[in-house]
Amino acid sequence: MEYDEIIVGAGSAGAVLAARLSEDPDRTVLLLEAGPDYASIEEMPDDLLKPWVSWADHDWGFEAEAAPGRTIKLHRGKVVGGSSAVNGTIALRGVPGDFQAWVDQGNDEWSWEKVLPAYRRLESDPEGGDFHGTNGPIPIERPEPAEWQPIQRAFHEACLALGYADVVDHNLPDATGVGSWPRNREHGNRVSTNMGYLVPNRGRLNLTIRAECLVNRVIVEDGVAVGVEVESGGELQEVRGKRITLSAGALVSPAILLRSGIGPAEKLEPHGIGQVLDLPGVGENLVDHFSVGVQAVPKEGTPHDVSVVTEVGLRYTAEGSDQFNDMQLAVSTIFDREQVRGLTDHPRRSGATFGVGAVVQRTRSRGRLTLRSADPHEQPQLDMHYATDAEDMRRLIEGARLSWRVMHGPEMAPFVEEIIAPSAEVIASDELLAEYIRATTSTTWHVTGTCRMGPADDVLAVVDQYGQVRGIAGLHVADASIMPDIVSCNTNLTSIMIGERVAEWQRDGTG
């Protein structure tokens, strides 16, 4: 059988594509996912519904070099729903300036005015009005101040005391300041793209969802993508389709392209992969949001619900920056002690921790992805190059000091038993703080850019602005990897928006 559409990856964008394209009953859609599938809410394990993040049985197990010689875990969802099924549920939109940057790089179909209808189409937001949809597949909720944990309330008060504005709706295009995070939750449950887009539509006869299918490569014949090679049930099989769309995420989609012989020879020849098409940008332009934080032990008796983690956040513009909302600050009721291993004498005891962390949103540092081998079971080499750009470092130093001020202010100090790291000596020194940042800065799990879109004269562009892979007919990419630059917010809602936008074009024949 030949399908009209084969979509690889049932995550934030792939599930959207499958649901939208299968609205046409005459179009056959095959959705392939490497992880397990849960066809109803009743079947889903609690770790996909309740906690803030879930890495147990639904993770790719990626590791990355944050800096030379320092490896971190880089969690990505391996399950129908992808990372939308395991994320922190912060449902933020990009701001108009983010998309103007995309337009300035030759992608005029991605202006704020053109992406806003797709954002509205995906959401069911009680705020309504001119900027929000009210009947989309993804419900948006904002925790009321009365529901905030005491540490979260103190953080909010501390930011107000420092002069930041009180924000009711972070997703208004000009909103800046501190307030409740919008979240993709309903009745206490995380709502993934599986729950929002696929579960209601699984009865469609033209939609086939196959889980635990690991795609090795795209089959290309005479410059046309005609199918994919898939491992299913321990057997390597081929399945054919009129159009192939990779929506496997910013780490897996470029790896599939490379295993298919699509990419620069320097990345293919060491693994015995014959080059089908020279596309230098495959795996380049890896962009992530990275953070640094002040970690602490809370006083005994402080409410500490690790299933909530973060309810309130600050979006602000760094001093001296011309990029609106290029920084975030938030308090988290869990913090990774491994980040400061070897940098502090604080005992590694069990118990609660929390932190105030700063995150660079419009990062300039760029990493790259290469293959370790041609084996799809072996993860790619990920070199993140965090904080290698001087402006990124400057903003993180400023953000770390702001975190320190918030943690030591009269609003939060009553909840702090002791500071784990950094020390006051480190905070006071630009040089020591830069060393601390290089040794501890870590991911916020927002990897993008590795198959970036761009015009024909952009040598590193992998796809055009419609997601069509340059030089291969019938092959598309639609996920976070096509972002030419990272948005100044958590990336999940924008990844879903990309699925909506590309689905429009694929349905009407534009893309």
pLDDT for position 56: 67
Contacts of 481 (CB under 8 A, 6+ apart): 249, 250, 253, 254, 448, 449, 450, 451, 452, 462
> CB 241: neighbour CB atoms within 10 A?
24
pLDDT for position 303: 74
Rounded average pLDDT over 103-128: 97
Domain boundary among 444, 473, 492: 444
369 and 243 assigned to the same domain: no
440 and 347 assigned to the same domain: yes
Are 20 and 499 contacting, i.e. CB atoms less than 8 angstroms apart?
Answer: yes
320 and 268 assigned to the same domain: no
pLDDT for position 338: 54
Rounded average pLDDT over 14-42: 97
pLDDT for position 333: 73
275 and 362 assigned to the same domain: no
Domain boundary among 444, 461, 481: 444
| CATH number of the domain within which 321 lies | 3.30.410.40
pLDDT for position 304: 64
Are 354 and 298 contacting, i.e. CB atoms less than 8 angstroms apart?
Answer: yes
Cα dihedral 157, 163, 168, 169 sign = negative
434 and 499 assigned to the same domain: no
Are 259 and 274 contacting, i.e. CB atoms less than 8 angstroms apart?
Answer: no
416 and 469 assigned to the same domain: no
Give the separation between CA 191 and CA 113, rounded to whole angstroms: 26
Tokens of 267: 């990345």
Is the predicted pLDDT of residue 348 greater than 50, yes or no?
no
pLDDT for position 302: 81
293 and 430 assigned to the same domain: yes
What DSSP character marks residue 338? G
Is the predicted pLDDT of residue 344 greater than 80, yes or no?
no
| Helix, strand, coil tally for the chain in percent (to 5) | 30, 25, 45
Comparing 88 with 492, the larger pLDDT belongs to: 492
Closest Cα to residue 335, out of 422, 413, 224? 422
56 and 173 assigned to the same domain: no
Residue carrying structure tokens 């640094």:
292
Domain boundary among 418, 444, 470: 444
> Which helix (H) or strand (E) segment is 157 a member of?
helix 150-161
364 and 228 assigned to the same domain: no
Domain count, the chain: 2
Contacts of 114 (CB under 8 A, 6+ apart): 501
403 and 466 assigned to the same domain: no
What DSSP character marks residue 468? B
Q: Output phi, psi for 8, to 5 deg.
A: -100, 110
Q: Which domain holds residue 469?
A: 1-142+184-282+447-511
Is the predicted pLDDT of residue 202 greater than 60, yes or no?
yes
**Residues 135-177: tens digit of each pLDDT:** 999 999 999 999 898 999 999 999 999 999 999 999 999 999 9
118 and 242 assigned to the same domain: yes
487 and 465 assigned to the same domain: yes
Closest Cα to residue 53, out of 79, 87, 22? 87
| CATH number of the domain within which 34 lies | 3.50.50.60
pLDDT for position 342: 46
Contacts of 63 (CB under 8 A, 6+ apart): 71, 72, 73, 74, 379, 382
**Could you give the residue numbers annotated as active site?**
446
Q: Tell me the CB-side half-sphere exposure of residue 403, using CA atoms within 13 A.
A: 32
Cα dihedral 347, 352, 358, 363 sign = positive
Comparing 334 with 143, the larger pLDDT belongs to: 143
> CB 284: neighbour CB atoms within 10 A?
23
Give the separation between CA 275 and CA 265, rounded to whole angstroms: 6
473 to 91, 373, 443, 452: CA distances (angstroms): 34, 26, 35, 17
